[in-house]
Amino acid sequence: DAKTTQPNSMESNEEEPVHLPCNHSTISGTDYIHWYRQLPSQGPEYVIHGLTSNVNNRMASLAIAEDRKSSTLILHRATLRDAAVYYCILRFTPDDKIIFGKGTRLHILP
Amino acid sequence: AAGVIQSPRHLIKEKRETATLKCYPIPRHDTVYWYQQGPGQDPQFLISFYEKMQSDKGSIPDRFSAQQFSDYHSELNMSSLELGDSALYFCASSLRSWADTQYFGPGTRLTVL
């Protein structure tokens, strides 16, 4: 299975943009790139996903490198509520199970 | 909007006892996934069901079994409980045709004494 690599932790100031990187150098041509996050004491929550093109939704933006070997989740204006563990996940098909890796623990400083 | 419901939210059992966790997916969702998250660990996929049939299997112990019923709710049955089974158990649901998004429930915290 293709693997992802993320920083263990990151810090950002409140109300500033946050760029969360993810490397997936062994990604296959059909792997979808998904991002989920897990807030403290809650179940994981879908953030965004994409295949080749950059994607935007109300929560975040996903920038995918042209060679698809890396991607970046962008939170445009971080709030304290965005403090969570962010998981970058590859899924072979849209309905595939989620294999969680280590994720990035994001700390937001007031 | 309706979310995934899990019951009970907390459960305390003794070693070697059995436990049943229930999951009620979002209305019209036909696929259910179960995940286990040990203390300080990341969620691990256990098993999934689509239209009442097992669709995928992960690291689910033989002591555990699960099924999805005609109303699409699912139950995870755990027998001969061990201390290491203490964890958060999450259920997620999705609609197959829009299956790119899994919606997770709040989890059931199982403590085995």
Which three-class secondary structure state does DSSP give residue A2?
coil
Instruction: Determine the pLDDT at residue A28.
Output: 87
Is B48 at the interface with chain A, CB within 8 A? yes
User: B6: nearest CA in chain A?
Assistant: A43
User: B97: nearest CA in chain A?
Assistant: A95
Of the partner residues A46, A87, A97, the one whose CB lies closest to the CB of residue B101 = A46
Interface probe with A: pick from B29, B32, B42, B103, most Cβ of A within 10 Å: B42
Residue whose structure tokens are 């004491």: A41
Residue A1 confidence (pLDDT) above 60: no
Please state the rounded mean pLDDT for residues A75-86. Answer: 96
C-alpha pair distances (Å), B80 with each of B10, B36, B64, B83: 18, 17, 9, 10
Of the partner residues A43, A45, A91, the one whose CB lies closest to the CB of residue B107 = A43
Q: Which two tokens stand for residue A58?
A: 């109300």
Instruction: Determine the pLDDT at residue B2.
Output: 83
Sign of CA dihedral A91, A81, A102, B79: negative
Instruction: Determine the pLDDT at residue A41.
Output: 87
Please state the rounded mean pLDDT for residues A17-21. Answer: 97
Q: What does pLDDT average to in each consecutive run of 10 residues of chain B (113 residues)?
A: 93 98 94 94 94 91 96 97 97 76 94 97
Mean pLDDT of chain A: 92
Whole-number percent of chain A with pLDDT over 90:
75
Q: In 3D, which of B60, B98, B64, B99 has the Cα closest to residue B81?
A: B64
Residue A95 confidence (pLDDT) above 80: no
CB-based contact B33 A97, cutoff 8 Å: yes
DSSP state letter for B85: G
Instruction: Determine the pLDDT at residue A2.
Output: 60
Instruction: Determine the pLDDT at residue B97.
Output: 60
